[in-house]
């Protein structure tokens, strides 16, 4: 079975990608960003995850408001870099893991999350800005690990609640830990921290709230799920409310985690944070009284065994789908 190593949380401001592209490592104004990412780089190098489940939001680059989904999972084998107006960044495409993606998608749907799925979409700074600072890459060799992109629709209301994001993380854990291959997976959450880029509050930051949010994320995530989106916007700025995506990562981890790194830097418009959480326990996926019914498994899973049917599901299925 697949194993969740832990979780990483990072801001995804485009300034991170700018600093990478312009080699700002020694610039005093930019050096703290790179120093903040170094422990994350070392952690990923040490743990060597086979895949990253990467939680982010698009910025109306590939996902538009004419058909805007709440939770959208990439099921492709490769994801290219989007052109956000100045030409695409000189980064290689990141490789996916279609079998793992489709398994996760099947499990989340059976766990009563109405997912959308995408292929052939280029991804923007929400994914590639922090990724280019997290992992070594080479134009010829690409990236050292596969990425499973999970796009959260936080730009256009109605937006999923903090509680819904946390529950998605719990379902994501059940999905990953039921994948039959012996692989290691890390969860990466992006976004935030406090910032607002429109209206009279443009330029708003709240470092005190940023610190409190991370404290609660580590030690009392359930408390964060009780907050409304309005409260998140008031405390962290309208765009800063995207930190609810961090709750997806936290929900996918054990109740008690070990925090091995935390940092915060506010160079301009957005509070840039980095965080590493490691799982303290690995238990089999829980079965709930309202778990997917055998009828669902028969209809959705076994239908693929009928000659002439083209099933969404790969050969490896969650146990409760194959039962």
Cα atoms in the Cβ-side hemisphere of radius 13 Å centred on 164: 15
Nearest residue to 122 (alpha-carbon basis) of 90, 98, 88, 146: 88
> What pLDDT tens digit does each residue of the chain (323 aa) get?
899 999 999 987 778 878 887 889 899 988 999 899 999 999 999 999 999 999 988 766 677 667 778 899 999 998 988 776 788 877 889 899 999 999 999 999 999 999 999 888 888 766 777 888 888 888 778 888 999 999 998 777 788 999 999 999 999 999 999 999 999 999 999 987 887 877 888 878 789 989 999 999 999 999 999 999 889 888 887 776 788 889 999 999 999 999 999 999 988 878 889 999 998 865 544 444 344 433 334 345 545 555 555 554 444 444 444 44
Please state whether beta strands 78-79 and 257-265 pair in parallel, antiparallel, or not at all (unpaired): unpaired
Q: What is the pLDDT of residue 250?
A: 97
Q: Are strands 3-10 and 272-279 parallel, antiparallel or unpaired?
A: antiparallel
Cα–Cα distance, 248 to 68 (Å, whole number): 19
Cα 305 from Cα 294, distance rounded (Å) = 16
Which are the catalytic amino acids?
125, 195
Query: Given this model, what pLDDT does residue 315 score?
Result: 43
pTM for this structure?
0.85
Residues 105, 172 contacting (CB under 8 angstroms): no
Q: What is the pLDDT of residue 84?
A: 64
Cβ burial 12-28 (10 Å sphere, 16+ → b, else e):
bbbbbbebbeeebeeee
Looking at residue 297, its pLDDT comes to 45
pLDDT at position 281, please?
Answer: 67
CA distance 244 to 167: 11
Rounded Cα–Cα distance for residues 88 and 30 (Å):
22
Residue ranges covered by each domain of the chain: 3-286, 287-323
- In CATH terms, 3-286 corresponds, of 3.20.20.210, 2.60.40.1180, 3.40.190.10, 3.40.830.10, to 3.40.830.10
Supply 166's token pair: 């946390």
């Amino acid at each position: 079975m697949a194993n969740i190593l832990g979780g990483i949380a990072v801001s995804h401001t485009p300034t991170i990608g700018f600093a990478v592209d312009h080699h700002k490592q020694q610039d005093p104004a930019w050096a703290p960003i790179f120093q903040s990412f170094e422990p994350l780089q070392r952690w990923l190098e040490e743990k060597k995850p086979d895949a990253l489940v990467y939680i982010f939001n698009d910025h109306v680059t590939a996902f538009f408001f004419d058909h805007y989904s709440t939770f959208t999972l990439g099921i492709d084998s490769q994801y290219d870099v989007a052109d956000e107006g100045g030409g695409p960044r000189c980064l290689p495409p990141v490789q996916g893991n279609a079998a793992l993606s489709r398994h996760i998608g099947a499990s989340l749907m059976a766990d009563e999350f109405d997912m959308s799925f995408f292929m052939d979409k280029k991804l923007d700074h929400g994914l590639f800005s922090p990724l280019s600072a997290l992992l070594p890459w080479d134009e010829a060799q690409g990236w050292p690990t596969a990425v499973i992109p999970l796009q959260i629709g936080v730009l256009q209301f109605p937006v999923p609640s903090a509680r819904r994001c946390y529950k998605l993380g719990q379902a994501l854990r059940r999905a990953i830990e039921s994948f039959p291959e012996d692989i290691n997976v890390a969860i990466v959450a992006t976004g935030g921290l406090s910032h607002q880029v429109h209206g009279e509050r443009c330029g708003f930051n709240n470092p005190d709230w940023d610190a409190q949010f991370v404290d609660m994320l580590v030690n009392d995530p359930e408390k964060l799920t009780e907050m409304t989106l309005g409260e998140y916007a008031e405390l962290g700025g309208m765009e800063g409310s995207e930190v609810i995506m961090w709750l997806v990562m936290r929900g996918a981890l054990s109740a008690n985690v070990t925090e091995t790194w935390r940092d915060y830097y506010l160079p301009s418009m957005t509070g840039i944070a980095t965080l590493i959480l490691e799982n303290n326990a690995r238990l089999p996926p829980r079965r709930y009284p309202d778990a997917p019914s055998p009828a669902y498994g028969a209809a959705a899973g076994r239908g693929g065994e009928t000659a002439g049917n083209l099933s969404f599901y790969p050969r490896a299925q969650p146990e409760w789908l194959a039962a």
